[in-house]
Amino acid sequence: MTPTMIGVIGGSGLYDLDTLTDKRWTKVSTPWGPPSDEILTGTLDGVPMAFLPRHGRGHVHSPSTVPYRANIDALKRLGVTDVISISACGSFRETLAPGDFVVIDQFIDRTFARDKSFFGTGCVAHVSMAHPTCPRLGAACLDAAQDAGITVHDGGTYLAMEGPQFSTLAESRMYRDSWGADVIGMTNMPEAKLAREAELCYASLAMVTDYDSWHPDHGAVEISDIIRVLTGNADKARALIARLPALLGADRAPCPHGCDRALDHALMTAPDKRNPALLARLDAVAGRVL
């Protein structure tokens, strides 16, 4: 058993957690540069928690410029064991209405302008992404949402686009009809991939704000409409987060799905061929196996 520490990455509209006790904003340095912002640390019902606003307070980072590697490294460096990613998204399904939450279990990654791995020349690694989220952690988020009275859907495929522009109508129809995506957003990739490389349990909660552009009765996405829904979703997210400590507990066993052992067989580069400079940067995310 190891102590639980919950890490929450807040998306658009969620920039603070006022429910934490003993809270303080902590500056964390990483070998990958500074994270999006200082990290709010504290406790909630006796369980340590760290909150990181993905876009920074004041929303200063676009989806493409979020320092994803620094964010995940900083959380791991603080001792986080379980990461809850909360993000706004558009919906491709009538049944996933604005204001609803979706517990994501699959991704389609269409991003192209971001650093997607901690590893590379000098230390090559390949982790499995067949099941990119942690079922144990996703189930806890589902229970917390239901207990908070949130309309929540269990399972969905998240299409991660580069942005920052919203989809064209043709793209929206393709993602929905041909590719089978359920929601669309701009920030869960490469975040989920990096969390897996860092051996962190990762769950994604998508907060629906709109129907993207495919819906004949809603037309183009309007940022004013999204902001209005974001406000209500942020309050729901805080209510959900408040219920997680009781569900996850103060101590945790090894992940039954192996998230915390993702690097066991992932490293490919022979020990005598590994780059010492890169190994030094991997001290937090891969220290267990190096």
Report CA-CA distances (Å) from 98 to 55, 93, 104, 208. Answer: 21, 10, 16, 5
Among 73, 100, 182, 210, the active-site one is 210
Amino acid at 271: P
Among 109, 212, 260, 283, the active-site one is 212
- Whether residue 113 contacts residue 64, with contact meaning beta carbons closer than 8 Å, is answered with yes
CA distance 151 to 159: 21
Query: Given the structure tokens 């006790």, which residue do they identify?
Result: 21
Report CA-CA distances (Å) from 61 to 54, 143, 263. Answer: 8, 31, 30
CA distance 208 to 210: 6
- Whether residue 253 contacts residue 1, with contact meaning beta carbons closer than 8 Å, is answered with yes
| Cα angle for residues 39, 28, 271 (degrees, 5° grid) | 125
Which residues, listed in sequence order, are joined to residue 9 by a DSSP beta bridge?
52, 85
212 is catalytic: yes
Query: Given the structure tokens 């629906």, which residue do they identify?
Result: 208
Residue 104 φ/ψ, nearest 5 degrees: -75, 140
The DSSP line for 159-172 is EE---SSPPPHHHH
210 is catalytic: yes
Query: Catalytic residue numbers?
Result: 210, 212
